[in-house]
Amino acid sequence: MLSKEIETALNEQLVIEAKSSHSYLAWASWAENAGYPGIAKFMYAHSDEERQHMLKLLHYINERGGKAVVPALDKPEVTFNTITELFNRLLEHERSVTANINEVVGLCLSNRDYSTHNFMQWYVAEQLEEEALATDLLDRLNLIGNDKSGMYMFDRDIMTMRGA
C-alpha cells in the first residue's frame, strides 16, 4: 500500500509526464508546419513515449492501492522561432523533469518505500538517456548554425532516431 505522501508525489509526476506528452505533441505540430518532417516525426514519437511514461505511473499507483488522477492539461507554450530554440527548450524541460524525478526518489528513501524507489529507477535511467540525446542534438545544431543544407541533413537524420 502506498503512503499518502508517495501517492501524491507519484500523481504529481504523472501530471508532469502528461504535460510532457502534450508539449512534445505541440512541438511536433510546430515543426511540421515549419517544414521539418523529420523533427516532427521525432517529436510525435516522443510524445507517445511520454504518454507511456504517464501510463506506467498510472498503473503503478492503482496497482499499489492508490488512486491515479488523470489531470486537465493547459495549452503548451510554443514560443520559439528557431529549431535551436526548440531544442534548448526541450533540454531545459527534460532537466526540470529529472529534478522532479530526483525529488520523488529522495522521498521514497525518506519514506522507506523501497518498492517505489525501485520502480522509479527506470525513470532515472530514462532521463539520463533523454538528457544525453538532447545535449547531443543541441551540439549538432550549434555546429550547423544557419547553414541550410546542414539543417536539411539534421532533419533527415533525426527522422530515423528513436525519441529516447
Contacts with ligand FEO by CB under 6 A lie at: 17, 20, 50, 53, 94, 97, 130
Residue closer to ligand FEO (CB basis): 50 or 155: 50
Q: Among 71, 73, 74, which residue's Cα sits nearest to residue 61? A: 71
What's the grid cell of residue 38? 523529420
CB of 52 or CB of 142, closer to ligand FEO: 52
Residue among 22 and 53 whose Cβ is closer to ligand FEO: 53
Q: Which residue is nearest to ligand FEO (CB)?
A: 53
Shortest distance, position 46 Cβ to ligand FEO, whole Å: 8
Q: Whole-angstrom Cα distance, residue 29 to residue 23?
A: 10
Under DSSP, the state recorded for 76 is P
CB of 81 to ligand FEO, least distance (A): 23
| Nearer of residues 53 and 117 to ligand FEO, judged by Cβ | 53
CB within 8 Å of 114: residues ≥ 6 apart = 108
From the list 154, 145, 163, 149, the residue with the least C-alpha distance to 36 is 154
